[in-house]
A and B are shown apart, each in its own frame.
Chain A
Amino acid sequence: MSLPVYVAEAEGYFANENLSVRITDCQFGRLCLGQLLEGKAALCTVADLPIVFASFTSDRFRILSTLTTNRSDAKIVTRKSGDVHTPLDLRGKKVGVAVGTSAHYFLDSVALLSGLDPASIRLVNLGAGEMTSELIARRVDALSAFEPFAFDAAKALGNDASVLSTSRTYTLHWNVVAVRDILATNDRELEGLLRALDRAIRLIHSDPARAKAVLKARLALDDDAVAWVWPDLVFELGLTQSLIKTMEGEARWALRSGYAQGREPNYLRYIHDGPLHRAKPGSVAIVR
């Protein structure tokens, strides 16, 4: 999801914008956002749901732009030889999921849209490293996981792997977030940063092979993993109304599920569109 950042670094686009960027890798976006809120980073890339959770407790960050969208980042992986073949088959089944993540939100959405009460699914809270082994050991009937854990599970199951059809249930927005403190004084640098990322996205579109090579080198992925995720990735800088709607839906889900307390935030406050306006005119579709 953060491929444009890696490409911009590899191609020297940040340097071209007179920016000195140091990248720190995190296992999840939620952790990256946490470092940002702890003051360990000025910027991070993170999905919409961690932003929603953070928005209930902090006002110290702003979304600069969506970097990548993915309509199929979260997947429900089952065994063909198992009993789960449609979302309705999840009723009463044990489903492994990292509770409170986008995969959990995705699983609830799939259940509701299929006419299934999410409460009828027996959730098994799993860490990132447990999912594949639990599914192979048949201690869970299915997994709701985002990438690359869904791929790892499917790869481990081999021909027995099955991914339920849940297209367009949830569109993940992968965003560039900045700590609010730097906005007033570093708008020019942020504009340069977004310009470098946009340039990297154009390179990804024009030379996918080169971008994939950067991706494989950076995340130590093999060709199969890249081929698995690549078709669902949409790299495009922008701020769209669907981001707001998605976050609002996620906020309601979080409140209802008890993962967050308080009032639903006004997410317009968390949008800082000035740099993107200047870096890529016409890409901001949110009216503030």
Chain B
Amino acid sequence: MSLRNLFAGWVILAAAFGLIALVLLGFTARKVETLSVEQSRAHQIAREVSSLLALTHEYILHREERAEQQWRRRYATLMHELGLKGEPGRGAQADLHDALRALPELFDGLIRASSSGVQDSLTLRRSELLIDRLLTETQAISESAFQWESQATEARAIIERRLITSAISLPALLSLLFASSAWLLARRVLRPIGAIQQATAIAAAGNLAVRCNSQAQDEVGDLARGFDHMANELQLRTQSIQAAEAFLRNITDNLPIRIAYVDRDMRYRFVNKRHCERFARPREEIVGKTFDELHGQAANPELISHVRAALAGEKSTFEFTEDIHGRSACIESSLIPDIAMDGMVKGFFSTGVDITERRRQRAELESALKEKEVLLSEVHHRVKNNLQVISSLLQLQSTGIEGAEARELFAESQNRIRSMALIHEKLYQSHDFAQVDFADYVQSLVRMLQASQGGHEAHPAIQVRTAPMTIDIDRAIPAGLILNELVSNCFKHGFPNGRTGHIDVTLALCNGDQATLTVKDDGIGVAADFDPSATDSLGLRLVQMLTDQIGGTLCFEHKQGFSCELVFAGRQHRSPSPV
């Protein structure tokens, strides 16, 4: 039975009981009042009848007129009392009424016998009988009146006892009813709720295996089963969360970094195994402790400032050195603020990586690299020196050669060797042994070629325009040789017999990575049927070969002077990035 129905029934029962009790009390009280009135009336009648009896005796003794008048007045009063208020036909009152009606006849007979003056035996006997009957009847009436009063008194006493019994028993019954309802409340509601409360406290303490196991088929039973279901679900989810937490902890514990979470009160909420090792304490002694409790006054001031910055919402990465188990370690730490949706910083995530070994390895690498750079620079330096030695040797040999043509061949070879040596020079001077600053190289090479023409009387003016560009050594040397051939040809063939003019050397970058090297002069030019692919000139053949080597294209034009444009895969000049 549901508690709602049970308590509704109880309330209805109590209300009905209370109503019945009130009706009974009211009825009884009214009955008491009625009987009280009847008792009073019976008492009054009895007193009147007693007076009537006394007057009867008085009249019998003295035959006085006054006694007769009073007797009749008293009788009339009695009849009036009984006639007005009486209820003939009801017990003692009815008897009383009937008896009283017989009295006047006896009294009148006595008066007649007394006043007749006859004193014979018959009259005396008759008078005597009348007196006997009158006294007997009046006595009987008096007894009836007192009996009536007695009955009324007894009835009133009975009803008053009933009233008192009701007055005592009704509160007792009501108390019993309330005690029963209290017992029912305790048994069906308070005790089960107490059990649920106890189970809730146990669950709140962490023991989610607790169950109420209620068998009650009411609302509290439903509540207990709801609690059991909730506890079961909570237990399953907690187990799932604990498994996930264990999984995550396993992951974080096995990562070679420190991971921690610190709330805005600077209290540790999470630490992984590596972080525990930092404090040489188990996890349980760290989680819940504050930053100050764990670090004490000896905390690194720099670390403190970064922590404050993180709590202010700033992300930071920094390195610091600390002593771990007697070993000095370099830690790279990142503090990432945990910012809530409302912008408030709830805490920060902390990661720490021991980079001591990495720094050592980097230092070793840097040292090895430096050593290699020095060696490479030395190699380029020596190659350049060797090429210069070769050029000097050719110079020495050319002095002993007869014929200008032969000497010129030597000079051309010297220029070609120097153009290559210039590449190595630029390399070891630049400290970038993979890329050559080709713009600088073009400027230097053109100046060197111009300087090598010092024996000529007249010089064409040379204008060099270069866009910043670096290219690797594999293409720099062929491209340098091509430029050397083209500029040397301009000096050699473009301006004979002291002709003056201009030579323009342009290095440009097209389409992002296409280098365009243009050598143009306004000299005498070439014959109209000039075919660079069919020429037997070593220089031009060399240009053709080197262009193919670097995958470039050549384009000649000779309408006004000579112009050659080499296009090859180049590379835009970049500022060197730090290692």
Contacts and interface: CB of A to CB of B under 8 A. Distances in A.
A201 to B, nearest CB: 14
A252 B150 contact: no
Interface size range on B against A: 20 to 34
A113 B126 contact: yes
B136 A245 contact: yes
Contacts of A246: 132, 136
Contacts of B139: 240-242, 245
A249 interface: yes
B11 to A, nearest CB: 40
Interface string A235-256: 0000011100110110010001
A113 B132 CA distance: 11
A168 B99 contact: yes
B299 interface: no
B130 interface: yes
Contacts of B140: 171, 240, 242
Contacts of A282: 150
A245 B126 CA distance: 16
Nearest to B134: A245
Contacts of B218: none
A249 B136 contact: yes
A117 interface: yes
Interface string B125-148: 110111011011101100100100
Given A245-B136, A246-B136, A240 B143 contact: yes
B369 interface: no
Nearest to B126: A112
B125 A112 contact: yes
Contacts of A117: 122
Contacts of A241: 139, 143
Nearest to A115: B126
A276 to B, nearest CB: 15
A117 B125 CA distance: 10
Contacts of A242: 136-137, 139-140, 143
A165 to B, nearest CB: 11
Interface in A167-198: 167-169, 171
Given A241-B143, A285-B143, A168 B135 contact: no
A245 to B, nearest CB: 4
B539 interface: no
A282 B128 CA distance: 31
Interface string A81-120: 0000000000000000000000000000100110101000
Given A113-B109, A242-B143, A282-B150, A256 B125 contact: yes
Nearest to A117: B122
Interface in B133-170: 133, 135-137, 139-140, 143, 146, 150
Given A113-B106, A241-B139, 10 more contacts: A112-B125, A112-B126, A112-B129, A113-B130, A113-B133, A115-B126, A168-B137, A245-B132, A249-B128, A285-B143
CB-CB nearest 8 A-B residue pairs: A249-B132, A245-B136, A168-B102, A242-B140, A112-B126, A241-B139, A112-B129, A242-B136
